[in-house]
Structure 1
Amino acid sequence: MNPGKNKPAPAVPCVDLECCILCEVCVELAPHAFKMNDAGFVEVIPLDRYDDKETLEAVNNCPRDCIVME
């Protein structure tokens, strides 16, 4: 039996761009996980894990609650 086989996939932040007011709080708190793309929208930077303190703080401090962990 593979011990890691039944583990859930790690949570990844997902930004609701219709809700986002482009305040850049997430970018300021976790620049390694979020960035403003060339089109001027928040983008999640591909990482292996998003459970570090800064990323979770960015998710929790979004003023419009536009970021959820999925």
Structure 2
Amino acid sequence: MSIQKKPVIDLGCCIECGVCIDLAPHAFEIKDAGYVDVRPLDRYEDDDDILEAVKNCPRNCISWE
């Protein structure tokens, strides 16, 4: 069984620009409290939209855990 990687958002550097939500709305969301969060999914690393969101984050706040 392989260990699944998951995107993690560094909320300390996130400016809530919405790029990740625009590129992968099925994986990222803005919570009512105003911060970006990762939606629960079965798999993340094989999803091209999520990979694009990680790559295009202007502050490089999204990493893999």
Normalising by structure 1, report the TM-score: 0.88
User: Relative contact order (alpha carbons < 8 A, sep ≥ 6): 1 or 2 greater?
Assistant: 2
Partner of 2:7: 13
Q: Which runs of 4+ in 1 moved over 6 A?
A: none
In structure 2, list runs of 5 or more residues that go unmatched.
Answer: none
| Structure 2 counterparts to residues 1-70 of structure 1, below 5 A | 4=1, 7=2, 9-51=3-45, 52-70=47-65
In the alignment of these two chains, the number of paired residues is: 64
Instruction: Percent identity, please.
Output: 58
Normalising by structure 2, report the TM-score: 0.94
In structure 1, list runs of 5 or more residues that go unmatched.
Answer: none
Secondary structure (helix, strand or coil) at the match of 2:37 reads: strand
